[in-house]
Amino acid sequence: MKNFKIIVQFDGSRYKGWQKLKDNNLSIQEKIETVLSKMTGEEIQVIGCGRTDAGTHAENYVANFHTNSNRSAKLISNYLYEFLPEDIVVKSVEEVPERFHAQHNVKSKTYVYSITKGRLRNVFNRKYSFHSLEKIDLIQMRNAAEYLVGTHDFQSFTSLKEGSKSTIRTINSLDIIENGMVIEIVINCNDFLLHMARLIVGILLEVGKGKVQATEVQNILNGKKFTQAVPFAQPKGLCLRDVQY
């Protein structure tokens, strides 16, 4: 069998995330598997690099699949481009060694959360960024971010049930970048927990708005317990930028 690696760009606005669901077909995985299965005449299973939240996006999502088809990578790429919905694009198709696994071989992922500021929202990026009317203190946000960088138990920043799996993760970098009216929160982590990125952004925004002190972030982290003090950032602002292997 051949093993193909694909890199996918998708607008997740109308989807329930990457992961295929039993009760509907509103997932990125299901859309791609349906097209590939039709093309090959086989039941194709696409292995993704991880789950994404409903409503979030991806610039370079990595997946792989196995097939007995003799079609070339170029023909597969052309077929996917023709038959996938317009909000999903497979940017590249590449035959890779059998041992490559999109999820197991991941070293880290980079997520970006986009925030626009100012009195008026931008109608052209409203589906891809969170618009804040409130003034945001970036210095305090960066101070708070320093507490989260490194290896910690992130139980306070995931909605996973306690004890279901290890919640120790390593954030390699957490940068807050201002470019005109746009703020980007860029997080690189070895492995994101369920809702972890949105909860981190949520607490940083609370700090930026002056509702939570930067030092309190360390107390929340050390508490190792999910709390209502950590709000969920809206999913539309979150995008998977890159996956490192």
**In this predicted model, what pLDDT tens digit does every residue of 22-36 receive, in sequence order?**
766 799 999 999 999
- Residue 93 has phi, psi (to 5 degrees) of -130, 130
Catalytic residues: 53
Q: Check whether residue 15 and residue 79 sit in a common domain.
A: yes
* Domain shared by 122 and 240, yes or no: yes
CA–CA distance, 101 with 3 (Å, rounded to integer): 9
For residues 169 and 193, the answer to whether their CB atoms sit within 8 Å is yes
Predicted local confidence at residue 137, as pLDDT:
96
CA dist., res. 234 & res. 55, Å (int): 9
Share of the chain above pLDDT 70, in %: 99
Give a yes or no: residue 68 inside a domain.
yes
Half-sphere exposure of 35 (CA within 13 A, CB side): 18
User: Known binder of ligand: residue 111?
Assistant: yes
- Closest CA relative to residue 221, chosen from 166, 139, 147, 161: 147
Is the residue at 210 inside a domain? yes
- Residue 180 φ then ψ, to 5°: 65, -120
Examine the domain organization and report whether 13 and 82 are in the same domain. Answer: yes
- Kindly state whether residues 219 and 120 are assigned to the same domain: yes
| Residue 164: per-residue pLDDT | 74
- Contact (Cβ atoms closer than 8 angstroms) between residue 79 and residue 40: no
Say which residue the tokens 């299965």 belong to.
37
- The string of pLDDT tens digits covering residues 178-230 is 999 999 999 999 999 999 999 999 999 999 999 999 999 999 999 888 777 78
Q: Does residue 41 share a domain with residue 7?
A: yes
pLDDT score at 135: 92
Q: Is residue 103 part of a domain?
A: no
What whole-number distance in Å separates Cα of residue 4 and Cα of residue 65?
A: 5
Average pLDDT, whole number, for the chain? 95
Mean pLDDT (whole number) for 51-70? 97
Q: What pLDDT, on the 0 to 100 scale, is given for residue 162? A: 77
**41 in any annotated domain:** yes
Q: Mean of the pLDDT values across residues 114-124?
A: 90
> Does residue 121 register a pLDDT over 90?
no
pLDDT band at residue 15 under the 50/70/90 scheme: very high
Q: Which residue from 108, 141, 82, 110 is spatially nearest to 238, judged by alpha carbons? A: 110
Cβ atoms 212, 219 nearer than 8 A: no
pLDDT attached to residue 97: 97
Please indicate, yes or no, whether residues 91 and 112 belong to a single structural domain of this protein. Answer: no
Model pTM?
0.94
What is the model's pLDDT at position 118?
85
- The CA-atom distances, in angstroms, between 183 and each of 122, 129, 170, 231, 237 are 14, 9, 23, 19, 11
User: What's the confidence (pLDDT) of residue 105?
Assistant: 93
Last residue of a domain, one of 96, 122, 142: 96
- For residues 97-118, average pLDDT: 96
Tokens representing 211? 């509702």
The pLDDT of residue 154 is: 96
Predicted confidence band of residue 90 (pLDDT cuts 50, 70, 90): very high
Contact 197, 210 (CB under 8 A): no
102, part of any domain: no
Which of 40, 73, 96 finishes a domain? 96
Q: Are residues 169 and 205 in the same domain?
A: yes
Give how many domains the chain has, as a whole number: 2
**Residue numbers of the domain that contains 65:** 2-96
C-alpha closest to that of 27 among 39, 35, 36, 18:
18
The three-state secondary structure class of 173 is: strand
What tokens were used for 198?
């949105």
What tokens does 10 get? 């998708």
Domain boundary among 69, 96, 123: 96
Lowest-confidence pick of 94-98, 150-154, 228-232? 228-232
Q: Are residues 148 and 65 in the same domain?
A: no
Phi, psi torsion values for 190, nearest 5 degrees: -65, -30
